[in-house]
A and B are shown apart, each in its own frame.
Chain A
Amino acid sequence: MTTASPLLQVRGLQVAYGTPAAPVPVVRGVSFDLGREKVAVVGESGSGKTTVGRALLQLLPRQARVTADLLQFDGIDLRTASERDMAALRGRRMSMIMQDPKYSLNPVMNIGRQIGEAVQRGQRLSRAECSARVEALLQRVHIREPARVAALYPHEVSGGMGQRVMIAMMLAQRPQLLIADEPTSALDVAVREEVLGLLDELVAEEGLALLFISHDLNLVRRFCDRVLVMYAGRVVETLAAADLAQARHPYTQGLMAALPSLRHRRAVLPVLQRDAAWSAE
């Protein structure tokens, strides 16, 4: 693997629902590169952040139509990859932490078995070995009493715990590309910092490429290297996370201005004024 060509290249990614005659575009020409770095995707609800993530893994509902000029992961063209190729890639090389742990964990399988499925992929382990691995993974996402939690069913754990279980599950196969869809939204601040620290560690030590979907601008500014700002299905601005304050696009500026701050007291928080031109350009 060379640093010359990035791990993931996306050019002109489009996703549309609806019939071919009357398509409803959801993602409209998204392009970006992702190397061994932490790139954030921010934007309001419905701007297509999650759809981009799922489109990369080809996990959109079948009625979605995905097209792209270039969609390349480590030299593999994802547009022509068969379902079998994708299944081989998913989990092992590219993975995704899903948004809502309540719906992303199988309700009739206990947590240990669900993570165990990922652990046992491609290798047969004895029962004891497998549960030891599962517990180690759970410990890594700071779950105390991993043995007890592994025996629980998803409805018996809290939202934050579920989210960490989800993270443990996705880290089980040590993917190279991780799409994290708001991985910390249900976590309290202390655990959030620990999980972010863990992701940071993986990026630094194992060269993980991280696509971090979020709408927490402050968090993104602190944690990520680059930021893609999405609005209405397209990337309106790409900039270094540190330069977020100097954003040029009015949408990004609007988002930044709408952030409340302790230091600058304001009587009224400005409301984002949308411009039809942003989505039309």
Chain B
Amino acid sequence: MTLATLSRPAPSGAWQAWRHEAAGTARKLLSNPLTAIGVAVIALLVAVALLAPWLATHDPLRQDLAAALQAPSSTHWFGTDEFGRDVYSRLVHGTRITLFIVTLVTVVVGPLGMAIGVVSGYFGGRVDLLCMRVADVFLSFPSLVLALAFVAALGPGLDHAVLAIALTAWPAIARLARAEAMTLRQADFIVAAQLQGASHLRVLWRHLAPLCLPSVLVRLTMNMASVVLTAAGLGFLGLGAQPPLPEWGSMISEGRRYMLDTWWTVAAPGAAILAVSMAFNLLGDGLNDALDPRQAS
């Protein structure tokens, strides 16, 4: 034990120890300026999504054909689109859709990918073979193309887009969790757990999964960036959120016909997509540095 450990007051309970740890991780995260920017953008995104009705200056769905395609002004901050809807308000409400997709995909893909990966890595053999060949099939297609195929089969719509993206995103997570599980499978402490009569389920859930969590978490965060892009791509192609929903990708799609004259109908949602996907990437990078003990400075 080092002096530092001794001089620090011993945590009185697991909860306090955890809080201590979390505070340390957070400090490490924010000390990197790029990560801090990422965190700030995502925090802004969440705040805007929560406060959308109050932040929006207009009803995002209300059309006003008389005021169509107006340039940015004091009444319409980012101008209006072809139906005279306020681009700024649509952008603000669009954060909800983006967050909805990102959260739902992550909630589905994280546990699913991790479960498949850990099981496959732990048991190995035939189970592994089966899981990984299925994963290979999914990995062998570009994710947008595969998502397109799924949505085309299921029919366009926001829920189907989420499902399609989730179906394309799990193999990467599963691969990662499998690799981690494989290196840990023969570890002595896993054998020790079995030695005490722990069942497979218990070893998987209590001993292996927590160890795979950091890398999966990083991967999921990075993945959010591509989820944002894929969702926007589907929206752009008219297979994601359906009009009149203010989804960023479909906003670009609607605006592109007038792009040469009215740059704002495309630039505003485009910039939002860029900012958000970059923010998730930066956060993922930062998390990678903060959570990986092998890179401790």
Contacts and interface: CB of A to CB of B under 8 A. Distances in A.
A204 interface: no
Nearest to A115: B196
B271 interface: no
Given A62-B124, A106-B207, A98 B197 contact: no
Interface of A: 54, 57, 59, 61-62, 87-92, 95-96, 98-100, 103-110, 117-118, 121, 148, 151, 156-158, 166, 169-170, 172-173
Nearest to B16: A151
Interface stretch (B5-13, B23-31, B66-74): B5-13
A87 B195 contact: no
B17 interface: yes
Contacts of A100: 188
B189 A103 contact: yes
B1 A104 contact: no
Interface residues of B, number: 28
16 contacts: A54-B191, A59-B191, A62-B124, A92-B197, A98-B195, A104-B188, A104-B192, A108-B210, A118-B196, A151-B10, A151-B13, A151-B14, A151-B17, A156-B5, A157-B1, A158-B1
Contact of B11 (A54, A95, A151, A170): A151
Nearest to B197: A91
Contacts of B124: 62
A148 B191 contact: no
Contact of A90 (B5, B197, B210): B197
Given A62-B125, A103-B189, 4 more contacts: A92-B197, A95-B196, A98-B195, A156-B5
Nearest to A157: B1
Chain A binding surface, main DSSP class: loop
Given A106-B189, A108-B210, A90 B195 contact: yes
B211 interface: yes
A167 to B, nearest CB: 12
A59 B189 contact: no
Nearest to B196: A91
A121 B199 CA distance: 11
Contacts of B193: 106, 117
A124 to B, nearest CB: 14
B191 A121 contact: no
